[in-house]
Amino acid sequence: MHLITIIKNISRIDYINYLILFYAFLLPLSLDITRTISIILIILWISGKDRFETSIPKPLIIFLAFIGISFISYFWSDSTFQEVFKYIKRYWYFFPAFIIYKYIKKVYIEYAISTFLLGMFVSEMISFSIYFHIISPFGLANTTTPSPFMQHTMYSIFLAATSIFLLGRLLYEKNIKYQIVYFLFFLSVAINLFINTGRTGQIAFFGALIILFIYKYKLRIKSIFLSFLTIIFILFAAYNFSPNFENRMNQTEQSVNKMLKKDDYSTSFGIRAAFWIISKEMFLDSPILGVGTANHLSKMKITIEEKLPHLKINKGYLHFHNQYLEVLVQLGIIGLFIFLLFLYSIIKIKILNYEIHLLKIGFISVFILGMITDNILWLNMTIMLFSFILGLLLAQNKYEQKRLKEEN
């Protein structure tokens, strides 16, 4: 009876905050459960009397405009309304960003980051256990891609973003005990990144590494030297100690040779290069408004047949493996401008708390770079991660702005 009384006394806001913590912990571990939590959060938001009392922050307004033009593009697209809706409906995964912004308590922001890191640690240990044959592969995992809970490209983004955040904490931490903890955690995440075969996360990791060093030491010889030295060391270690990374690098070399010598773009790396060529032709045909949402794949096939018949390419892809190219082709210059404005509005979110600020630098850098080689904001798990971080950033900004107003 005492337990029932305690449960009854838990407020609706506290329930939502506990759910956000579960959401954070399970993000790297279960798509189905995290998706279920997202639905429950949406129901709790809709059913609340205060559902319309909070203003929508600028980044989310801009993203709503992006969704709006995506819907409107139906009128100049050859796609059916069902095809357009099927493509756009994935954006519902952004809803938790608003709910986190609206409901999370200030103290729970740090808790949410910690529970997410705990979830990453658990996923890592399982990944390492599969890689070293301690447990048998399950889910999506196998011996070459030991990531059971999500496709390896998405997991590489999780690992890259987490490693950059941990490195940022390491660079700014003064306490030697915490430095050791952050270093060991960073090392384990970085190793996991390079035993997995997700090149998208690996490329984003190196780019974000440079951004982090420049942010810390400005654009000086020290930052350039540290970036260069760290990248060389990691590449050398990964190539010599990770057979998976060595194989992927060899495959990349073979893919480049196929492209240059045979116009063969049928490999994983080759298709990403081919989409630049194809996108150029499609953009020139419809530069302002694009070909319309969900119309890019059918137009791609026509473009290849009519203008690029010499390209050897696999046409069975669901997207362009490049967020910017896909937006440009589907929605033209106007759509790409709105999308870039959305990203810029996130960059401009002012965060005074240095740990949350490092979170912003690390995660946003990885996502912006990762979108060059894959549709990070169209893949479900990475959308959910992006939504989670965006919600925390907006909530932290809200509390900081409120405190500044009270002080003035």
pLDDT tens digit string along 21-43? Answer: 999 999 999 999 999 999 999 99
Q: Over 296-356, what HEC string results?
A: HHHHHHHHHHHHCCCCECCCCCCCCCCHHHHHHHHHHHHHHHHHHHHHHHHHCCCCCCHHH
pLDDT tens digit string along 136-158? Answer: 888 888 877 888 899 888 999 99
67 or 305, greater pLDDT: 67
- Please compute the mean of the pLDDT values over residues 53-67 and round it to a whole number: 93
Q: Which amino acid is at 366?
A: V
Asked if residues 252 and 199 have their Cβ atoms less than 8 Å apart, the reply is yes
218 or 162, greater pLDDT: 162
Q: How far apart are CA 362 and CA 392, in angstroms?
A: 14
User: Which residues are 264's β-sheet partners?
Assistant: 312
Q: With left for phi above 0 and alpha for psi between -120 and 50, is residue 167 left, alpha or beta?
A: alpha
Task: Flag whether pLDDT at 219 surpasses 80.
Answer: no
